[in-house]
Amino acid sequence: MEMVIMNKKGLTISIILEAESANYGDSIRNSSVLKKIVRKDNKNYSYISRQALRYSIVKLLGWDNTPIEAKGSGSQKVAQFAPDATIKEYPEIDLFGYMKTSEGDSANTRNAVVRLSNAISLEEYKGDTDYLTNMGLAKRKNLDNSIVKSEIHRSLYGYTISIDLDLVGIDKETEISNEEKAKRINDFLEAVEYLYRDIRGRRENLAPVFVIGGIYNRKNPYFEHRLSLKKNDLNLSAIKDILIDEEVKKNTSVGVLKGIFNNEEEIIRDLNAKTIKGVFDELEGKVNEYYQSN
């Protein structure tokens, strides 16, 4: 049986959001291709990479000011965080980690204490495409149109966030105050609650339409890969099985945005779901409580 260390806590939430064409991969000539994976049913599912989610979160928070330096020589130079950048001044490297290298020294690394999964679509990509032209500009000079083809996919997406609360704000001999630790995590949660992504002239709303999770003694991302749809019903079977564990059940909160899922009433009744804001407010309160008691 796993030993549970009571003063060590992990926060995990799994989220469903709705978005359209929020992350592209490589372009092939005049075609823009969505990032996709193939699942066990041999169907294609688009996804938003964890790097894209991180980029949007950091930008929204204004944390994209950590100093950067180019390391290496010639064409082998790579961008890295500056060696003198510390977690005390820069929340980005506190929560998401870093690797710093200096000539003649081994790499100095910090593992991420906030981990994001890819946001994978819960609905199949069926090959929809959009054709774009620059006719509006071309006509001004009687020039030929340029035609671009883009894959498009509007879907619900699921992803998971895992936070190691007792590692926040601690890096070797450096440690920030518990008040600042709580502020950084709660700022992060607020950004997730109201997240958006700017892409190709659009602003996509990445705010949750469903959220489940809490703060637990075991640092397990309980609901990762457990969110699925059947038509437009949220599958509750796997969620209910996880909630058989009383420790998990008593610490889990569920939030749902009304008007999204066909089985909305079942979600509210069987999972005791509240509003999305209600869940985030509750989590922020528990984060404050945790750091005040440590």
**Cβ proximity of 43 and 120 under 8 Å:** no
Q: What is the pLDDT of residue 7?
A: 65
> Taking every pair of C-alpha atoms in the chain, what is the biggest distance, in angstroms?
75
Residue 88 CB neighbour total at 10 angstroms: 14
| Average pLDDT value for residue range 175-181 | 98
- The pLDDT mean for the chain works out to 93
Between the two ends of the chain, the Cα-to-Cα distance in Å is 26
* pLDDT number for residue 177: 98
Taking the CA atoms of residue 118, residue 121, residue 125 and residue 131 in that order, the dihedral angle to the nearest 10 degrees is: -70
How far apart, in whole angstroms, are the C-alpha atoms of residue 188 and residue 169? 14
CA distance 279 to 252: 9
Q: What is the pLDDT of residues 154-166, one digit of tens each?
A: 999 999 999 999 9
Quick one: pLDDT at residue 197? 97
Residues 7-63: tens digit of each pLDDT: 679 999 999 999 999 999 987 788 999 999 999 999 999 999 999 999 999 999 999
Task: Give residue 133's pLDDT.
Answer: 81
- For residues 109 and 158, give the distance between their C-alpha atoms in angstroms, rounded to a whole number: 29
Does 104 score more than 70 pLDDT? Answer: no
pLDDT of residue 5: 43
The token pair at 237 is 């079977």
pLDDT tens profile 208-262: 999 999 999 999 999 999 999 999 999 999 999 999 999 999 999 999 999 999 9
The answer, yes or no, to whether residue 3 has pLDDT greater than 50, is no
Q: How far does Cα 22 stand from its chain's mean position?
A: 13
Asked if the model's pLDDT at residue 174 lies above 80, the reply is yes
